[in-house]
Amino acid sequence: MNGSPRKVSPLRQRMLEEMRMRQLAPKTRDAYIRAVPHFTRFLGRSPDTATAEDLRRYQLHCVDQRISAITLNATITGLKFLFEATLGQPELLAKMHPVRMSRTLPIILSREEVSRLLEAAKNLKSDRVVGRVWGRTARQRGHGFEGR
């Protein structure tokens, strides 16, 4: 390895500067930067020459590759930053759409299930811990805590 720094393209440098100006968190910066090379490989040329149709085709490509909804949405967000903040071309994103992610509802215990859980606590210490956790959760959700 030589001591010379890695050459950064003017477009990448501009994107890094835009992120620095906005004081984006390091992980956000990494995620945004990660989106660009993948798109560039797909496109086969510099992303600043992309069209709205290229972006649409890229999203279809990602869907066909079965990229997860979370990864796809993170990629779209990174490209959105590139085209809006760095290139000043938000209109190119008109045909890109975030993917809906299925959400699972949290498991909520019935009063009977809570009673059985508290009964299953074998000693006084675990009974108190379970009771406190249940009470705190109930208060945070605005349900109050009536005891056992």
- 26-37 pLDDT, tens per residue? 999 999 999 999
- Within the chain, residue ranges assigned H as helices are 10-21, 26-43, 52-64, 69-81, 111-120, 124-140
- Name the pLDDT band for 105 (thresholds 50, 70, 90): low
Q: What is the pLDDT of residue 111?
A: 81
Q: What is the pLDDT of residue 148?
A: 43
Identity of the residue numbered 32: Y
> Are the C-beta atoms of residues 39 and 79 closer than 8 Å to each other?
yes
Cα(115)–Cα(42) distance, rounded to whole angstroms? Answer: 57
Report the first-to-last Cα separation within the chain, whole angstroms: 67
- Which of 39-53, 67-81, 115-129 is predicted with the least confidence, judged by mean pLDDT? 115-129
Q: Is the pLDDT of residue 24 over 90?
A: yes
Q: How far is CA 98 from CA 6, 49, 70, 78, 111, in A?
A: 33, 22, 9, 12, 39
Q: What is the pLDDT of residue 119?
A: 74
What mean pLDDT do residues 138-146 have? Answer: 55
Neighbour-count burial of 104, counting CB atoms closer than 10 A to its CB (0-12 exposed, 13-18 middle, 19+ buried): exposed
Q: What is the pLDDT of residue 109?
A: 75
Count the alpha carbons within 13 Å of 72 in the hemisphere toward its beta carbon: 20
- Which pTM value belongs to this model? 0.66
